[in-house]
């Protein structure tokens, strides 16, 4: 009697040429910025921070197929939470970051339970209102947030007496944290939980027919995205040393959505790639002078036309063209 073949259930990662080229290009770009220094170091630092935010946003929008325009609310919780805890209560930066993430997670759980019962544009508008409400609170509650004056003197990241104050070391630290966040997202995506989220994204009635509890999985995905957003807000506060309501306003929503769609919604590394490209692109077109906004918009439009699924999904486009191309025989 022969025993059945044992197949591995561990997910395999396939690298196509486009993905490898993108990773190599990102590494070369990072090395160039690291060596050159100056203002580009700050730009790349912000790219890594926004990359963490976009990884969480992609988890809810790309993997689960739900629209959320209010993740900046949880970034504000993270930013102001870590600022208040560090400046007023002298809490360690790492502990303040983790505490703020817990608060943001609880807030997402409380808000998401009734909100995620909505669908489509109703859900999008509800989350958008959440972001606007949080922004208004950060402006009006001056006794807690100091309003437009903001919080200054936020200490840099560090543990105990060791703090990261060198700009290059800050970039290295943020890059490592972004890659860790990307690795966690990839592991969750390839897990049973991630497969359930992709089933919900494909068809909610079909996922329900398979026994997947739609509301529960959507709520968990929403909380995970909030944790990423809170972490990015805290990292911004510790990196820049100052926060104000404008940081977590409507501009953050527009910028992060641009980054996510440039990199590729639903892809693994697309959010981080999009954050890097969308952050450095304005610096590249700055040489065009007063036409820089036109050049920036034109490049984004070309990306949407020739890479509608994002830069990280260009490899799929080439593979599909190769399959569709008829073979010629002698």
Check residue 326 and give its pLDDT. 53
User: Nearest-5° angle of CA 37, CA 251, CA 96?
Assistant: 70
Check residue 268 and give its pLDDT. 85
Rounded Cα distance, 280 and 294, in Å: 16
Q: Would residue 131 be called left, alpha or beta, if left means φ above 0 and alpha means ψ between -120 and 50 degrees?
A: alpha
First to last CA, the chain: 49
The residue extents of the domains of the chain are 17-145+165-248
Check residue 7 and give its pLDDT. 41
Check residue 315 and give its pLDDT. 57
- Taking CA atoms, 165 is separated from 44, 156, 220, 223, 243, in Å, by 16, 6, 35, 31, 17
Task: Count the neighbouring beta carbons within 10 Å of the beta carbon of residue 158.
Answer: 15
How confident is the prediction for the chain on average, in pLDDT? 85
Q: What is the pLDDT of residues 24-43, one digit of tens each?
A: 777 787 788 888 778 889 99
Give the pLDDT band (50/70/90) at residue 321. Answer: low
Whether 129 contacts 70, CB under 8 Å:
yes
Q: What is the pLDDT of residues 141-173, one digit of tens each?
A: 999 999 889 888 899 988 877 888 888 999 999
Check whether 112 has a pLDDT greater than 50.
yes
Check residue 1 and give its pLDDT. 44
Check residue 306 and give its pLDDT. 80
Helices and strands in the chain: count of H runs, count of E runs: 14, 4
Range scoring the smallest mean pLDDT among 45-49, 233-237, 279-283: 279-283
Q: What is the pLDDT of residues 121-145, one digit of tens each?
A: 888 889 999 999 999 999 999 999 9
Q: What is the pLDDT of residues 259-276, one digit of tens each?
A: 998 888 888 888 998 898
Check residue 307 and give its pLDDT. 78
Give the pLDDT band (50/70/90) at residue 322. Answer: low
- The residues that bridge with 243 in the sheet, in sequence order, are 151
Check residue 270 and give its pLDDT. 86
Diameter of the chain by CA atoms?
A: 80
């Amino acid at each position: 009697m022969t025993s059945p073949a044992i197949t591995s259930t561990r997910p395999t990662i396939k690298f196509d040429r486009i993905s490898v080229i993108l990773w190599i290009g990102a590494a070369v770009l990072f090395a160039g910025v690291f060596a050159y220094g100056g203002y580009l170091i700050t730009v790349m630092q912000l790219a890594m921070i926004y990359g963490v935010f976009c990884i969480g946003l992609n988890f809810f929008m790309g993997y689960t197929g739900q629209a959320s325009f209010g993740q900046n609310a949880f970034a504000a919780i993270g930013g102001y939470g870590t600022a208040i805890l560090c400046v007023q209560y002298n809490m360690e930066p790492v502990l303040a970051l983790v505490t703020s993430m817990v608060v943001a997670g609880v807030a997402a759980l409380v808000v998401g339970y009734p909100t995620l019962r909505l669908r489509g544009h109703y859900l999008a508008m509800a989350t958008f209102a959440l972001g606007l409400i949080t922004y208004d609170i950060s402006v009006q509650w001056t006794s807690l947030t100091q309003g437009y004056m903001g919080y200054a003197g936020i200490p840099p990241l560090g543990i105990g007496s060791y703090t990261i104050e060198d700009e290059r070391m800050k970039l290295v630290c943020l890059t490592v944290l972004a890659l860790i966040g990307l690795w966690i997202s990839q592991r969750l995506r390839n897990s049973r939980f991630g497969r359930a989220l992709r089933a919900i994204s494909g068809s909610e009635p079909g996922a329900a027919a398979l026994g997947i509890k739609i509301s529960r999985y959507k709520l968990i995905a929403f909380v995970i995205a909030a944790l990423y957003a809170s972490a990015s807000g805290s990292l911004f506060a510790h990196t820049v040393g100052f926060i104000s309501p404008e940081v977590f306003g409507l501009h953050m929503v527009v910028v992060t959505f641009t980054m996510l769609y440039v990199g590729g919604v639903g892809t693994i590394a697309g959010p981080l790639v999009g954050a890097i490209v969308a952050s450095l692109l304005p610096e590249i077109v700055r040489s065009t002078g007063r036409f820089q906004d036109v050049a920036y918009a034109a490049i984004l439009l070309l990306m949407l036309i020739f890479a509608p699924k994002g830069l990280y999904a260009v490899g799929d486009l080439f593979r599909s063209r190769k399959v569709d191309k008829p073979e010629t025989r002698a």
